[in-house]
Amino acid sequence: MKAVTIVGARPQFIKAAPISRVWRQHGEEILVHTGQHYDHNLSDIFFSELEIPQPDYHLHVGSKSHGEQTGEMLTKIERILLEEKPDLVIVYGDTNSTLAGGLAAAKLHVPVAHVEAGLRSFNRRMPEETNRVLTDHLSTWLFCPTETAVAHLLREGMSEGVHMVGDIMVEAVQYNIQLARRQSTILQQLALTPDQFLLATLHRAENTDHESRLRSIVSALNQIEYKVVLPLHPRTQARLAQWDLQITNPNVIMIAPIGYLDMLQLEAAAAKILTDSGGVQKEAFLLQTPCITMRDETEWVETVKWRANRLVGADERQIVEAAHERSVIHFDKIPPLYGAGRTADQIIHVLAKG
């Protein structure tokens, strides 16, 4: 069987790596990189660290408006699918690369496998929500990480092709955390003591593209009395400059985006994680680090239910309070919310049956 895998953004490289590894033992894979992310630390670093084969096609689409970016991907992916004639297309998550890959395939009647199907924030202002709803409805196989995701699909009338397989990020973390512990020197480089710093990430459009929300988050970061490591996404960097917002707190160590091994090492060693990322919320849970999520809602509702994650929105007071509060979470009493790390095998088993 021949699969075309579409990736383009940082979290997709991380999610695709474990599945590609298993798929390539059984079938052929043509890897397409849309070029949505292109900076070394948002793209190439993951290919080398995670030993992902070089893409067969690189579309170099780059940063553009939603329509232009998605449209250019759609045109270019269609050409590849016509040329390669795959048996299926595999897409990941909820980025513009996901939607373009799914749509190009569905229009050509190539079946689509959507990994991380069924997630919903119910916030249609998020570009990710549009991407994931549409991709789910285009897909033949819907691989859900949680029962909540399965229930969302059922409510939208989708039951055929729905498979609850756990979350692929469990494998990504399990596979790479040992490597991270052996190879990463980020704690020494930044002179950090485990449990005595917070790790923060911030990049979601719903925060960075609204001046009042970003101002409020920056103001909160400026009040935190612990060390905070902040690997800054270029989108956020650009908005801070545009609105002349400054992180003036000497406790905040701003660095460029980092590779996956350094990231896992920091996530595991941090006292808490402050984030608006989807992947980072799950990794915080998997690495047993309390999480504070700077969003009004989350797709990863289980982490909140089990109190491993607290939603604080962009509320300055709540962010500061959550960062300083003493939180004791009994992770050992929480069931494995995202599966046991057999997701790739389960997905390939289903796909191999055709």
Enumerate the active-site residues. Answer: 203
Is the Cβ of residue 42 or residue 334 nearer to ligand UD1 in the bound state?
42
Candidates 258, 304, 329, 334: give the one binding ligand UDP (CB under 6 A).
Answer: 258
Which of 26, 139, 156, 39 has its CA nearest to residue 92?
139
Alpha-carbon distances, residue 7 vs 21, 96, 158 (angstroms): 15, 10, 25
DSSP one-letter string for 19-47: HHHHHHHHSEEEEEE--SS-SGGGTHHHH
Secondary element (H or E) of residue 347: helix 343-352
The rounded distance, in Å, linking the Cα atoms of 328 and 8 is 37
Contact status, residue 312 vs residue 324, Cβ threshold 8 Å = no
265 binds ligand UD1 (CB under 6 A): no
3-state SS assignment for residue 317: helix
Candidates 15, 33, 120, 203: give the one binding ligand UD1 (CB under 6 A).
Answer: 203
Q: Give the x-and-dash track for 113-142 against ligand UD1 (CB under 6 A).
A: --------------xx--------------
* Tally of helices (H runs) and strands (E runs) in the chain: 16, 13
Report, in Å, the least distance between residue 10 CB and ligand UDP: 5
DSSP 2: E
231 binds ligand UDP (CB under 6 A): yes
**Residue 61 one-letter amino acid:** V
349 binds, among ligand UDP, ligand UD1, none (CB under 5 to 8 A by kind): none
42 binds ligand UD1 (CB under 6 A): yes
Angle at 36 between CA 33 and CA 39, to 5 degrees: 95
Report, in Å, the least distance between residue 129 CB and ligand UD1: 10
58 binds, among ligand UD1, ligand UDP, none (CB under 5 to 8 A by kind): none
Which of 292, 283, 238 has its CA nearest to residue 262?
283
238 binds, among ligand UDP, ligand UD1, none (CB under 5 to 8 A by kind): ligand UD1
Is the Cβ of residue 86 or residue 279 nearer to ligand UDP in the bound state?
279
Contact status, residue 141 vs residue 351, Cβ threshold 8 Å = yes
39 binds, among ligand UD1, ligand UDP, none (CB under 5 to 8 A by kind): ligand UD1
Residues in a beta bridge with 143: 115, 163
Report, in Å, the least distance between residue 65 CB and ligand UD1: 9
10 binds ligand UDP (CB under 6 A): yes
298 binds ligand UD1 (CB under 6 A): no
Residues with Cβ within 8 Å of 132's Cβ and at least 6 positions away in sequence, in order, are 93, 94, 98, 116, 117, 119, 120
Candidates 4, 6, 7, 11: give the one binding ligand UD1 (CB under 6 A).
Answer: 11
Which spans of this chain sit near ligand UDP (rule: CB under 6 A)?
10-11, 14, 201, 203, 231, 257-260, 263, 277-280, 283
Which spans of this chain sit near ligand UD1 (rule: CB under 6 A)?
9-11, 36-39, 42, 63, 94-96, 127-128, 203, 234-235, 238
